[in-house]
Chain A
Amino acid sequence: MNVFDEIWAWFANPENWSGYASIPVRLVEHLGYSALAIVCAFVIAFPLGAILGHLHRGGAVVLTIANLIRALPTLGLLTLMVILAGIGLLPPMVALVVLAIPPILVNTYEGIRFVNAGVVDAAKGVGLRGPSILFRVELPVALPIIMLGIRLAAIQVVASATIAAYVGLGGLGRFIFDGLGRQDFAQMAGGSVIAAVLAIATEVVFILIAVLATSPGVLGRERLRFSSLTRKKVAS
């Protein structure tokens, strides 16, 4: 049987769609781990990046720490945590949170740090102070860059959550590792296909969130509408 037929047969098998180890269950597990890891990483990295960016301090430290963390292999961190803390939710969570921190931290810091100085000056000029400048000016302006960081983190987490199954957890990686153990290629490939589709879907969803969350002024839509208005006036 051809490789594609094998994978197709695996997807078509109704046994894989019901029960405690079925595709929907694994998918929900996978999304659960990923969401938890992204929320944890966000809670750690976002305030830190926002405050340091607002104060224009610690840029070199942020970048160095982020690069050091990026150099750590996820699989190594995961297996080391299993030996230190035992099998459970903690090891994959630590590995995934560590993976998600650098993009969120760096993009939040750089997004806020490099908001146009003229815009910040104007905010001071109209009487805004520290926290209001951060929340009402810098964050909205930096939002596209921050959302890009969150998106990169989310993609990496959703992709790497497959490895959580190596230390006995659920998620889509379960199909890959169970298939590997049983020499069942169809199962491995089927799990891989779902993981790939999920990763691309995650990317699309986060792009949509970013577009919806960003202020129209920052996106440039408002300017377009405005310029078309003025052009009409001139024409009339």
Chain B
Amino acid sequence: MFDFAWVWRNLPKIWDLLMQHVVLSYVPVVVGLIIALPVGVACVRWRWCYPIALAASSAFFAIPSLALFVLILPYTGLTPATAIIPLTLYTASLLLRNIVDGIKSTDDSVRQAAAAMGYRPMRRLIGIELPIATPLVLGGLRVAAVANISMVSVASVIGVASLGDLFIDGTQRFFATPIIVGIVLTAVLALVTDLVLVFVQRVLTPWGQIRRVK
């Protein structure tokens, strides 16, 4: 059922695919956050933007990843960009709601206190509202990261290398070992990423711990 010798022989190849998988799933999370932050801030500043951006992003999020990979294939070819661009847009659309809700969750008294202390809107945003939004944003980031890690493997179907190659290899040779290796590595990568983000959240928002003790 499980062929350890195969795993041993193919260790370098599996490692390469894992690294490729990490790149294809992490880059979209980072770039998606960088795109979603200004959009989210704009949606809080100009309220009429928000319903439009929300409708667009949730409609976008519904589109199957395989369909998007295929549709941008003629422009990007078989490069990592074919997987990275759709996943980046998914991440950004998933994060938008969390960023807006997070910034809006700042208490009005806190905002007024900041104004009284002489904070101007830009400094208030960076120094106060964004830190308060951090737990919600990181919550969204965790969901996006895990979703990306699971979705990247679909890109293998159209020829962009990732751990998904193991599923295709296993299906073509009717051989379960690569598939099991692929599933386990994908799941472990997702769980490790999730743990790292939980850790990042604890470091960035130490006040979250105090509330939990109460």
Contact = CB atoms under 8 A, between A and B. Distances in A.
B contacts with A: majority SS? helix
B191 A71 contact: yes
Nearest to A173: B66
A158 B67 CA distance: 12
A70 B64 contact: no
Interface residues of A, number: 42
A71 B149 contact: yes
Contacts, number: 134
Interface residues of B, number: 42
A79 B170 contact: yes
A173 B157 CA distance: 12
Contacts of B65: 159
Nearest to B59: A200
Interface stretch (B45-53, B126-134, B174-182, B200-208): B174-182
Contact of B74 (A79, A155, A185): A185
Interface in A75-109: 75-80, 82-84
A199 B171 contact: no
Interface in B15-42: none
Contact of B182 (A73, A84, A158, A163): A73
21 contacts: A71-B187, A72-B183, A72-B187, A73-B187, A74-B154, A75-B153, A75-B156, A76-B186, A78-B167, A80-B176, A83-B171, A159-B64, A159-B67, A163-B157, A192-B64, A192-B70, A195-B64, A196-B63, A199-B62, A199-B67, A200-B59
Interface of B: 58-59, 61-68, 70-71, 73-74, 146-147, 149-150, 153-154, 156-158, 163-164, 166-168, 170-171, 174-176, 179-180, 182-183, 186-187, 190-191, 194
